[in-house]
C-alpha cells in the first residue's frame, strides 16, 4: 500500500551493491532486541543471529533520507514537470490498456474465488482486481527487496520514519513467529510491503485471512490475497453495491472554490453549481470533492463513502481514483468479453 510518487522516485535512485552490516553493535538495535525478548519472549540469541548479518539497503533508505540519493552528474539535464498535468501523467502509468486487459484475464482466471469472496465480504471483484493490478501487477511484481534487510535498515538508520519502521519490523518478526516462516526468505517492496496486495506486516494480524484453509494467512497466495483485500475494505466500511465516485461539472477550467481531497466532506445542497456531469446520481450522504489536475483544466469528481474506503488502503486521492477508474474499465471490458460475472 505505497504512494505512487515514491515508486516513481525509485527509478532515479543510485544502483549500488548491498553490503553486509552487523546491526547488533548499534544501541537502538539492542534496545529493540531487549523489547522483543521481554515483551514477546523471543530468544536473544535468535535475534542477535538475525541482526548480525543484515544487508544494508541504500536504495530503500534513499526514499526516506535524501542524503542517500544519487546526485546528478555535472551538466546532466534535470527533468522538470510542468505546473499542471499531474493526473495526466499518473493516469498514463496506471490506467493503460495492457493493465486493463491483464485485469480482465486475472479476474476471469480466478472467478470462482472472486465469487466466494464477494458472497462473504460484499466487495465487487473489479475493485479487488484493480488493487492487485496496481500493487503487484497481478502478482508479477511483488518486490525484490529482502523484507528483513529493508525493515532493519529503515528501522535503525536515520530517516524521517524510523519509529514507523521499527513498528513494522516488530510486526514482521511477530508474523514470522505466528505463521512459522524464516524472515530472511521473504521478498517485498522497498518499504517492506508483502504479497499480491502489498500488505505491510502490521496489517496482517487484523486483515489477512486463511481463505484457502491451508492453515496459513498468506498474501502471497491468490485466495488469501483476494479475501484479505476484501476483508480490509469491509472492515473499513465498504458498502456492497454502493457508489464510489462520479464526475461532476463546475463553472470554469480550474477549481478553487472549495477544499478538495478525501479529508473534506460536504452536503450536496451546499455545492451549488456542482452537479453530476452525466445524468442523475442518487446519493444522499455527504461527498468529497476530488480534483484531478490536468494540463488544461481541473477534472472534478464527487467521492462517496466507498471512495473514502479505498483511501484507507493508500492515503491518496489520486491512488483511490486510479483504483476506481481501473476497476470500472476492467468491469466494462470483462462484461464485453465474458458477460456478467
Q: Hey, how many other C-beta atoms are within 10 angstroms of the C-beta on 149?
A: 22
Buried b / exposed e across 236-275, counting CB within 10 Å, b at 16+? bebbeebbbbbebebeeeebeeeebebeeeeebeebeebe
Angle, alpha carbons 303-305-309 (nearest 5°): 100
Is 211 within 8 Å of 271 (Cβ atoms)? no
C-alpha 161, offset from chain centre: 17
Closest among 314, 229, 294, 312 to 4, alpha carbons compared: 314
Residue 109 grid coordinates: 482466471
Closest among 233, 339, 244 to 288, alpha carbons compared: 244
Of 126, 135, 157, 168, which one is the catalytic site residue?
135
- How long, in residues, is the chain? 341
Residue 79 grid coordinates: 527533468
Give yes or no: 157 in active site.
no
Enumerate residues 6+ apart whose C-beta is below 8 A from 25.
Answer: none
Distances in Å between the Cα of 213 and the Cα atoms of 60, 196, 216, 227, 297 are 34, 18, 7, 12, 50
Report residue 256: phi and psi, to 5°: -135, 10
Which residues make beta-bridge pairs with 146? Answer: 187
Catalytic positions, please?
135
Amino acid at each position: 500500500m505505497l504512494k505512487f510518487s515514491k515508486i516513481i522516485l525509485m527509478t532515479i535512485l543510485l544502483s549500488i551493491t548491498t553490503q553486509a552490516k552487523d546491526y547488533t553493535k548499534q544501541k537502538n538495535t539492542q534496545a529493540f532486541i531487549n523489547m522483543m525478548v521481554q515483551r514477546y519472549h523471543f530468544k536473544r540469541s535468535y535475534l542477535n543471529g538475525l541482526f548480525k548479518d543484515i544487508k544494508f539497503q541504500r536504495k530503500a533508505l534513499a526514499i526516506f533520507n535524501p542524503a542517500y540519493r544519487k546526485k546528478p552528474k555535472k551538466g546532466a539535464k534535470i527533468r522538470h514537470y510542468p505546473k499542471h498535468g499531474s493526473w495526466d501523467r499518473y493516469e498514463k502509468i496506471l490506467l493503460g490498456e495492457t493493465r486493463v486487459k491483464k485485469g480482465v484475464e486475472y479476474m476471469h482466471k480466478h472467478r470462482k474465488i472472486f465469487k466466494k469472496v464477494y458472497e462473504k465480504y460484499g466487495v465487487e471483484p473489479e475493485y479487488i482486481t484493480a488493487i492487485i493490478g496496481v500493487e503487484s501487477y497481478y502478482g508479477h511484481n511483488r518486490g525484490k527487496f529482502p523484507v528483513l534487510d529493508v525493515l532493519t535498515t529503515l528501522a535503525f538508520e536515520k530517516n524521517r520514519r524510523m519509529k514507523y519502521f521499527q513498528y513494522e519490523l516488530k510486526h514482521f518478526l511477530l508474523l514470522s513467529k505466528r505463521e512459522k516462516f524464516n524472515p530472511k526468505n521473504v521478498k517485498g517492496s522497498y518499504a517492506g510491503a508483502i504479497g499480491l496486495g502489498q500488505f505491510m506486516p502490521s496489517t496482517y494480524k487484523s486483515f489477512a485471512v486463511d481463505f484457502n484453509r491451508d492453515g496459513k494467512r498468506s498474501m502471497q497466495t491468490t485466495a488469501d490475497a483476494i479475501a484479505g483485500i476484501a476483508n480490509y475494505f469491509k472492515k473499513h466500511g465498504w458498502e456492497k453495491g454502493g457508489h464510489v465516485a462520479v464526475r461532476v461539472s463546475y463553472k470554469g477550467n480550474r477549481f478553487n472554490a472549495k477544499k478538495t481531497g478525501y479529508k473534506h466532506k460536504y452536503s450536496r445542497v451546499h455545492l451549488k453549481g456542482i452537479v453530476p456531469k452525466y445524468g442523475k446520481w442518487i446519493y444522499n450522504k455527504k461527498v468529497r470533492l476530488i480534483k484531478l489536475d490536468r494540463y488544461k483544466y481541473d477534472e472534478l469528481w464527487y467521492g462517496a463513502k466507498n471512495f473514502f474506503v479505498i483511501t484507507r488502503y493508500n492515503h491518496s486521492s489520486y491512488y483511490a481514483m486510479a483504483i476506481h477508474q481501473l476497476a470500472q474499465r476492467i468491469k466494462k471490458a470483462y462484461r464485453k468479453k465474458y458477460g456478467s460475472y
